[in-house]
């Protein structure tokens, strides 16, 4: 659990600043579950440059509560959370000083989004909050006001969590949370999980990932882990002290994250990822008459195939679908074994029986259309799908036919501006397996929105 924090102060000498405004958003890693926003009477004058910067003046704070009147609420909302702030050292110091004046020792774990962004977004020109969030396409209102900056920090932290493929943030937090014996409540975690699509992570007491997987129903899948019999399953059940998750909004992002993070983390209880996750490919070849035909071959590489499959049956079914969708010949594609006309025809118009009835160029053009629709080869596109919440969308970036990464957006200019798009994308390395995952998903989901990108 996190507390996203921002504080505005009076300015002045070090350790003598007073708080003028505070905003805290309690964030469970997926949504805000509580918030506290308030002006605060610092009982001292605000420096003129601060008034100009924030718009907060002494008159505005005359009737605001004093710090001792809001202190209890701050303790309650931040209890058992990690404080997140942009330049956390400053905000945490100010907060601790105020509590120290009240005779209370306020201690919380902290994470700084400046330091995190330097590690996870090293290519950013600036890591100041204003410039960084603008480069990521994050809309900011009320800049230099506590709630405006806290909300901007929250959106930034969400992006940092998604970019943290090695899970260093989650691991460090869990390591602190699980010091000592875990309670029964922590062991009984299934009820706290969502029945949604995403990736889940089973951790040991040190936060290390023991097992990770994807599911369209995280709650149901983790429950299966805890109820499954067998020696290895019982070992995993005993070692698991916490389960975290990331909602992805759709299965494609979950599949791609699982594929990437299995390679990066190599959890103890996952089977070793296969070097190649497909077994057969469909190739386009010309027959003696010059007509393009589909041929199924066993393969462990893309190696010229335009589509890959896990079985001969899957490839055969797809060829059958293509012949119907693009009016292609069953006979020359090996679907029909009829000696004369295909069963689809009542006369000799069948291409298999009388191939010269249709010009080669016209027929081959339809084959090319079929290949182009279902292959990513050399394409520059963004695959848009559902996001994690209403108004949000996922983006899967493909450049020159290669998978480049995933991200989320909720504003049209973020997807239309290639520079912003690439800044919010979590970079991932594409290979034959990721291409197989994406193309397989495209074949199954006909309603996917696929946007072409202009050459950059």
Q: What is the pLDDT of residues 8-50, one digit of tens each?
A: 999 887 778 899 999 999 999 889 999 999 999 999 999 999 9
Mean pLDDT of 124-140: 89
pLDDT of the residue at 218: 93
Mean pLDDT of 254-273: 93
* Residue that the structure tokens 């958003």 belong to: 25
Residue 405 predicted with pLDDT over 50? yes
Name the band, by pLDDT with cuts 50, 70 and 90, for residue 342: low
> Max Cα separation, the chain?
97
Residue 142 predicted with pLDDT over 50? yes
Tell me the two tokens of residue 226.
């805890």
**283-318 pLDDT, tens per residue?**
999 988 889 999 999 988 878 898 999 999 999 999
Residue 455 predicted with pLDDT over 80? no
pLDDT of the residue at 337: 66
Other residues' Cβ atoms within 10 Å of the Cβ of residue 424 = 23
Mean pLDDT of 208-232: 87
3-state secondary structure string, the chain?
Answer: CEEEEEEEECCCCCCCCCEEEEEEEEECCCCEEEEEEEECECCCCCCHHHHHHHCCCCHHHCCCCEHHHHHHHHHHHHCCCEEEECCHHHHHHHHHHHHHHCCCCCCCEEEEHHHHHHHHCCCCCCCCHHHHHHHCCCCCCCCCCHHHHHHHHHHHHHHHHHHCCCCHHHHHHHHHHCCCCCCHHHHCCHHHCCCCCEEEEEECCCCCEEEEEEECCHHHHHHHHHHCCCHHHHHHHHHCCEEEEEECCCHHHHHHHHHHHHHHHCCCCCCCCCCCCCCEEEEEEECCCCCEEEEEEECCCCCCCCEEECCHHHHHHHHHHHHHHCCCCCCCCCCCCCCCCCCCCCCCCCCCCCHHHCCHHHHHHHHHHHHHHHCCCCCCEEEEEECCCCCCEEEEEEECCEEEEEEEECCHHHHHCHHHHHHHCEECCCCHHHHHHHHHHHHHCCCCEEEECCCC
Name the band, by pLDDT with cuts 50, 70 and 90, for residue 354: very low
Mean pLDDT of 250-257: 96
Q: Which of the residue ranges 63-77, 117-131, 219-233, 389-403 would you say has the lowest mean pLDDT?
A: 219-233
Query: Which pairing describes strands 32-39 and 19-27: parallel, antiparallel, or unpaired?
Result: antiparallel
Instruction: Tell me if the pTM is above 0.75.
Output: no
Name the band, by pLDDT with cuts 50, 70 and 90, for residue 352: very low
**152-187 pLDDT, tens per residue?**
999 999 999 988 888 888 887 776 665 544 345 445
Name the band, by pLDDT with cuts 50, 70 and 90, for residue 440: very high
Residue 54 predicted with pLDDT over 80? yes
């Amino acid at each position: 659990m996190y507390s996203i924090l921002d504080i505005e102060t009076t300015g002045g000498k070090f350790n003598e600043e007073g708080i003028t405004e505070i905003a805290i958003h309690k964030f469970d890693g997926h949504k805000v579950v509580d918030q506290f926003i308030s002006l605060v009477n610092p009982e001292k004058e605000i420096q003129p440059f601060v008034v100009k910067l924030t718009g907060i003046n002494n008159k505005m704070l005359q009737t605001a509560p004093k710090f001792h009147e809001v202190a209890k609420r701050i303790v309650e909302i931040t209890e058992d959370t990690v404080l997140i702030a942009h330049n956390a050292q400053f905000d945490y110091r100010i907060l601790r000083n105020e509590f120290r004046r009240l005779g209370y020792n306020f201690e919380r774990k902290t994470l700084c989004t400046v330091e995190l962004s330097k590690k996870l977004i090293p290519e950013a020109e600036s890591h100041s909050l204003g410039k960084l969030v603008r480069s990521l396409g994050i809309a900011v209102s009320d800049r230099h006001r506590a709630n405006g900056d806290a909300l901007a920090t929250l959106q930034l932290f969400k992006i940092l969590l998604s970019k943290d493929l090695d899970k260093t943030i989650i691991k460090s937090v869990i390591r602190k949370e699980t010091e000592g014996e875990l309670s029964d409540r922590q062991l009984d975690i299934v009820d706290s999980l969502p029945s949604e699509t995403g990736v889940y992570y089973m951790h040991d007491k040190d936060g290390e990932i023991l097992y990770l997987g994807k599911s369209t129903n995280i709650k149901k899948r983790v429950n299966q882990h805890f109820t499954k019999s067998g020696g290895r399953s019982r070992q995993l059940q005993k070692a698991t002290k916490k389960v975290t998750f990331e909602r992805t909004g759709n299965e494609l992002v979950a599949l791609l994250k699982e594929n990437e993070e299995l390679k990066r983390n190599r959890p103890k209880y996952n089977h070793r990822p296969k070097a190649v996750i497909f077994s057969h490919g469909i190739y386009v070849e010309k027959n003696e008459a010059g007509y393009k035909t589909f041929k199924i071959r066993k393969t462990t590489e893309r190696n010229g195939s335009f589509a890959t499959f896990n079985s001969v049956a899957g490839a055969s079914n797809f060829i059958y679908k293509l012949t119907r969708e693009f009016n292609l010949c069953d006979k020359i594609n090996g679907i029909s074994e009829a000696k004369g006309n295909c069963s689809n025809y009542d006369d000799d118009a069948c291409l298999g029986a009388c191939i010269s009835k249709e010009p080669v160029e016209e027929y081959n053009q339809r084959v090319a259309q079929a290949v182009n629709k279902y292959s990513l080869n050399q394409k520059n596109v963004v695959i848009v799908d559902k996001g994690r919440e209403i108004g949000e969308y996922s983006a899967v970036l493909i450049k020159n036919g290669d998978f480049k990464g995933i991200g989320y957006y909720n504003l049209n200019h973020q997807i239309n501006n290639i520079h912003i798009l690439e800044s919010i994308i979590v970079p991932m390395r594409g290979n034959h397996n990721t291409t197989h995952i994406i193309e397989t998903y495209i074949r199954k989901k006909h309603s996917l929105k696929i946007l072409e990108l202009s050459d950059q």
